[in-house]
Structure 1
Amino acid sequence: MSYPSAPPPGYDDRNPLHPPPHGGYAGGYPTGHPGAYPQPPPYGGGYPQPGGYPQPVPAMPTFPMSFGDSYGSGGTEGTEAFSSGDWDNKKVRHAFIRKVYSIISVQLLVTVGIIAIFTFVTPVSSFVRRNVAVYYVSYAVFLVTYLVLVCCEGPRRRFPWNIILLSVFTLAMGFMTGTISSMYSTKAVLLAMIITTIVAMIVTIFCFQTKVDFTSCAGLFCVLGIVVMVTGIITAIVLSFKYVYWLHMLYAAIGAIVFTLFLAYDTQLVLGNRKHTISPEEYVYGALKIYTDIVYIFTFLLQIIGSRD
């Protein structure tokens, strides 16, 4: 829209904020009122709205819809409000990450302690080897607590039930892993622990540095989980009739690779700044997923490099 560079004829510029009505004042001011502006018309009429550029409207502050470190390109990154919200959410995410990895550290310490007892204490390892039913009991407890924590949001978020269930789950999985470790040589167990530690550290550092978003491939990871499950069922059926070494090693290799990818996926869910992320309220769920991935990597590596006593 263009605006004239000079006022229309008959317009008195002593008050430029009040332009004349449509058509202007013919012949200047009305007679009988020399030196004065015309009186406004009665109520209901009025002058047209003053022209000029529209008044600036203050921008509405933008709030992130997720607890990530990146909010897309549509935010007003130069405003003070955005910077404050950005830092607040970073603090929330960093506190969440510290809480998750603190829980994982305690879980892994408990699991390593149980594995050490089952591996180095001869009476315990001998008892477990003679009573295989102990393994199945621990597996049942592990499976029930895992399903409750994964499928039921209430117990998973409500204190102290979430800590109690997570503790029972950790003890059951540690007991189950210790039972498996007692079937292998001490050298194989230590080597599997070392390799698992290296793999977990490399994957974590890689997820901190890489721009590859594993969380955007949720469908692929679902397919990989189905592949591992089907392969495990087939392997268990075949090995129950006859032990086939290459099939056992193939299943262990597939499981180790897939759960390493799962570890990368779950780590990025915890770290945030990706397509999908975990809410800061789900610290139990985040610790559960990463801990399970690490333990499964250990058990599959133990099957690959270990030799039965």
Structure 2
Amino acid sequence: MKGGDVEAGTAEPKGTTESPELRWALIRKIYVVLCLQLLLTAAVAVVFVRVRAIPHFFVSSYAVLGLYIFILIFPFIVMFPLHFYRQKHPVNLLLLGVFTVAISFSVGLTCAFTSGKVILEAGILTIVVVLSLTAYTFWAARRGKDFSFLGPFLFASLMILLVFGFIQISSRWASSLI
């Protein structure tokens, strides 16, 4: 079926010989979901860091500290049904939304108790991962190559190491000037 949606079951998956339009449609869907996840996570983290009452609330008593631990563990709990329902169309999107909210709260709480330098470094490295995987995806898709086993991850890892090294060198250089 031309113009169908593979995830919704209105088009037939064709393996590696699919049309370029189908491949680009899938890439667009993935990046829309990824961008929404990153934006929600960043927004929740900003709220948790800016509103100082939130981290104070989570360390106010042992019962609330238990809630904090549950919020940190909950994304891992959500991953189990997400794995089993990954092929069920409306359920997998709902579980992905729950997972995104859960991981956003975990990241937000972690950011609330972490120094700004570490948060900035993690944010920069996340941006590098997304951009390097995007560059690799476009490079591979333009050449008609499919993702091999470790190609994109090795490329992203190389980019992380390079940027991490640059951050460490520049932060030491900047601190020596002060």
* TM class, shorter-length: 0.5 to 0.7
What amino acid is the match of 1:106? Answer: L
Change over 3 Å in CA distance of 1:190–1:123 after alignment to 2: same
What is the CA-CA distance between 1:66 and the residue it aligns to?
A: 4.2
Q: For the pair shown, which has the larger CA radius of gyration, 1 or 2?
A: 1
What do residues 60-119 of structure 1 show as CA deviations (whole Å, max 9, x unaligned)? xxxxx8433xx5xxxxxxxxxxxxxx6xx2111111111111111111111111111111
Q: Counterpart of 2:101? A: 171
Secondary structure (helix, strand or coil) at the match of 1:215 reads coil
Identity of aligned residues (%): 27
Q: 1:100-115 counterparts in 2 under 5 A?
A: 100-115=30-45
What is the CA-CA distance between 1:172 and the residue it aligns to?
A: 0.8
1:144 aligns with 2:77: yes
Q: Counterpart of 2:7? A: none
Instruction: Tell me the C-alpha RMSD between the 2 structures.
Output: 3.3
What is the CA-CA distance between 1:170 and the residue it aligns to?
A: 0.7
2:49 and 2:40 map into 1 onto residues whose CA distance is: 14
2:23 and 2:147 map into 1 onto residues whose CA distance is: 19
Q: 1:1-309 counterparts in 2 under 5 A?
A: 66-68=14-16, 71=17, 89-130=19-60, 131-150=64-83, 152=84, 155-209=85-139, 215-217=148-150, 261=153
2:133 and 2:30 map into 1 onto residues whose CA distance is: 16
2:88 and 2:69 map into 1 onto residues whose CA distance is: 29
What is the CA-CA distance between 1:199 and the residue it aligns to?
A: 3.1
User: Unpaired runs of 5+ in structure 2?
Assistant: 1-12, 169-178
Secondary structure (helix, strand or coil) at the match of 1:113 reads helix
Q: Which structure is higher in helix share?
A: 2
1:120 and 1:190 map into 2 onto residues whose CA distance is: 15
- 8 Å Cα contact 2:132/2:156 also seen in 1: no
2:24 and 2:129 map into 1 onto residues whose CA distance is: 23
1:106 and 1:67 map into 2 onto residues whose CA distance is: 27
1:133 and 1:262 map into 2 onto residues whose CA distance is: 38
- 8 Å Cα contact 1:128/1:182 also seen in 2: no
For normalisation by structure 1, the TM-score amounts to 0.39
What is the CA-CA distance between 1:168 and the residue it aligns to?
A: 0.9
Change over 3 Å in CA distance of 1:213–1:101 after alignment to 2: closer
Secondary structure (helix, strand or coil) at the match of 1:160 reads helix
What is the CA-CA distance between 1:144 and the residue it aligns to?
A: 2.0
- 8 Å Cα contact 1:129/1:182 also seen in 2: no
What is the CA-CA distance between 1:262 and the residue it aligns to?
A: 7.6
- 8 Å Cα contact 1:138/1:176 also seen in 2: yes
What is the CA-CA distance between 1:173 and the residue it aligns to?
A: 0.7
Task: Give the total of aligned pairs.
Answer: 142
Secondary structure (helix, strand or coil) at the match of 1:188 reads helix
1:109 and 1:199 map into 2 onto residues whose CA distance is: 15
What do residues 19-39 of structure 1 show as CA deviations (whole Å, max 9, x unaligned)? xxxxxxxxxxxxxxxxxxxxx
